[in-house]
Amino acid sequence: MTQTQGSLPIYQQITELLIRDIAAGRLIDGERLPPERDMADEMGIAVGTLRKALAELQNRGMLERVQGSGNYIRAVSDPKSLYAMFRLELIAGGGLPTAEVLSVDRVVKDPGLPGFGLSPEGHRIRRLRRLSGQITAVEEIWLDGSYAETIAREDLSESLYLYYRTRLGLRIVRAEDQVGLGAVPDWAPAAFTLEAGTPVPLITRISWAQDGARAETSWTWFDHRVARYVARLK
Amino acid sequence: MTQTQGSLPIYQQITELLIRDIAAGRLIDGERLPPERDMADEMGIAVGTLRKALAELQNRGMLERVQGSGNYIRAVSDPKSLYAMFRLELIAGGGLPTAEVLSVDRVVKDPGLPGFGLSPEGHRIRRLRRLSGQITAVEEIWLDGSYAETIAREDLSESLYLYYRTRLGLRIVRAEDQVGLGAVPDWAPAAFTLEAGTPVPLITRISWAQDGARAETSWTWFDHRVARYVARLK
DNA sequence: AGGAATTTGTGCGTATGTATC
DNA sequence: AGATACATACGCACAAATTCC
């Protein structure tokens, strides 16, 4: 984890990563984070840098820090904060973000994906994301086939992040947001091709690492028109 | 400046010191602070410690920090923040704190004062403090006579702190709050003697240093009944 | 206009204190 | 009482933005 030209400072990247994990349900309320030194070591950053990110989360009320005990996730109740998490603005009222698993399949990797992992196959997880009950995004996650033989749909119901860590020994170490048409992969469904004057979809790319190896594995689209694509999926 | 047993962390002491300076008008809106390294050196603390205090002020909206330029005081408009500064609660609505100079005299030091400075005389500055137009405190400041021959009333009108620094080369380096009867000096006016069940006055003691010498020089009383004393002064 | 100097921002590493388990 | 984990504080190096000459 380094700060390259034009990118956000490391501590802000960490902050956004954790916020995204909270909003997405990969970090659940009450969950205790690993010790700061462990987290920092795994992320390859200094403890002070991590602490700066954690302090920011505490300011936002998403994290409770207890000396001598640990750092505990505190889910946010204020809907406005959730909107800020997603960088999405909805006109409708409050409501917690939800993630409904649409499908979990072990399939041959789509050739349009960037290369990742060792297996020619991968687990394709499709999730429907709602905010205030309204469909805001569909999320497609690819997990390399070598990590697990099979993945049960029930395993993912509660906390995807927790599943990664406890069952697979994976820990998400970095996440990037990219906005723009160029970042949309070729295999994006036609419904997502942009028209002039329409909002640019927000694309979230999440990467994880184990034993130093890294792979891009997940994209998330946020678009008001995503419902059309979902209708076809179901 | 060290952290002793039971006292607040250094960075919190700095934060409160600066807040008090802002609230009291010793630091005025738009004023630029000295460079961080200079401030830290004068205070005898590390830059990082100072920066933590400045960051807290920025969070509260009292300070604007501009990379490559400097740190600028931003007066607070939110009345609630002002009340927090004074640790005083008023029932009435908002309003900026003001400091009206009642008198500036060079007189023989009151024997009830703790020893400070070299001169047998001192400048006695009395200021009337208002919050939301309501009289909330009277402030009596003693400045050792050796620092200046005479002090003009006009000099103090704008920013006492600025006057100290630019004209006298003094810089406030520490401030303590003490609550309790024992800390009230003997020369406190009769109106301030406590009665059972009445609120305890808040006493602010400010010290400054030059060339390593220190002197206690200022007390401030906050009490609803201060108006009676003021009436006699005028 | 442009380069040097100034000033804050970021990141790292370390040591020690303090609360919790 | 010992181990664990967060809190505080220090100092250094370099980056980035601003300001000054």
pLDDT digits (tens, 9 = 90+) for B81-131: 343 343 322 222 333 445 566 677 888 876 655 555 567 887 777 665 554
Q: Long-range contacts of range A63-66, CB-CB < 8 Å, 24 or more positions apart?
A: A63/A18, A63/A33
Rounded CA–C1' distance between A35 and C21, in angstroms? 14
Q: Percent of chain B, pLDDT > 90?
A: 7
Comma-separated ranges of CATH 1.10.10.10 domains in chain B: 10-73
CA A184 vs CA A133, A189, A228: distances in Å? 26, 10, 18
- Locus of tokens 């220190």: B214
**Nucleic acid strand C: bases within 7 A of protein CB:** 5-14, 17-21
Comma-separated ranges of CATH 3.40.1410.10 domains in chain A: 88-229
Q: For A62-66, A113-117, B223-227, which range has the lowest pLDDT when averaged over its residues?
A: B223-227
pLDDT in the model for residue B98: 52
Protein contacts of strand C with Cβ less than 7 Å away:
A 1, 3, 9-12, 44-49, 52, 66-69; B 5, 33, 35-37, 48, 51, 54, 65-71
pLDDT in the model for residue B105: 80
Please check whether residue A192 is in contact with residue A223, taking contact to mean a CB–CB distance below 8 angstroms. yes
Q: Which of A92, A96, A53 is nearest to A71 (CA)?
A: A53
Nearest nucleotide over every DNA/RNA strand to the B70 CA, judged by C1' = C7
**Nucleic acid strand D: bases within 7 A of protein CB:** 3-12, 15-19
pLDDT in the model for residue B4: 47
Domain A88-229 has CATH 3.40.1410.10: yes
Rounded CA–C1' distance between A163 and C10, in angstroms? 34
Q: Percent of chain A, pLDDT > 90?
A: 6
**Max alpha carbon distance in chain B (Å)?**
54
CA B139 vs CA A7, A117, A190, A211, B135: distances in Å? 51, 71, 73, 65, 11
Rounded CA–C1' distance between A108 and D5, in angstroms? 44
Which amino acid does the sequence have at A129?
R
Residue A33 DSSP SS3: coil
Rounded CA–C1' distance between A40 and D6, in angstroms? 14
Considering A20-24, A141-145, B54-58, B169-173, the range whose residues carry the highest mean pLDDT is B54-58
Q: Is the pLDDT of residue B18 over 60?
A: yes
Rounded CA–C1' distance between B115 and D6, in angstroms? 42
Protein contacts of strand D with Cβ less than 7 Å away:
A 5, 33, 35-37, 48, 51, 54, 65-71; B 1, 3, 9-12, 44-49, 52, 66-69
pLDDT tier at A134 (50, 70, 90 boundaries)?
very low
Rounded CA–C1' distance between A31 and C3, in angstroms? 53
Q: Percent of chain B, pLDDT > 70?
A: 33
Q: Kindly tell me the burial class for residue A137, based on how many C-beta atoms sit within 10 Å of its own C-beta (0-12, 13-18, 19 or more).
A: buried
pLDDT in the model for residue B69: 92
Nearest nucleotide over every DNA/RNA strand to the A2 CA, judged by C1' = C11
Average predicted confidence (pLDDT) for chain A:
56
pLDDT in the model for residue A17: 80
Average predicted confidence (pLDDT) for chain B:
57
pLDDT in the model for residue B146: 65
Considering A141-150, A178-187, B130-139, B185-194, the range whose residues carry the highest mean pLDDT is A141-150
CA A204 vs CA A158, A214, B11, B109: distances in Å? 21, 16, 38, 70
Nearest nucleotide over every DNA/RNA strand to the A71 CA, judged by C1' = D6
| Mean pLDDT computed over B61-87 | 66
pLDDT tier at A56 (50, 70, 90 boundaries)?
confident
Element (H, E) at A107: strand A98-108
Q: Provide CATH code, domain A10-73.
A: 1.10.10.10
Rounded CA–C1' distance between B32 and D12, in angstroms? 26
Nearest nucleotide over every DNA/RNA strand to the A39 CA, judged by C1' = D5
Distance CA B31, CA A146 (A): 61
pLDDT in the model for residue A124: 74
pLDDT in the model for residue B53: 92
Rounded CA–C1' distance between B41 and D21, in angstroms? 27
Q: How does pLDDT run across A195-226, given as a tens digit for each residue?
A: 222 222 233 333 333 322 233 333 433 333 33
Rounded CA–C1' distance between B34 and C6, in angstroms? 12
Rounded CA–C1' distance between B4 and D10, in angstroms? 16
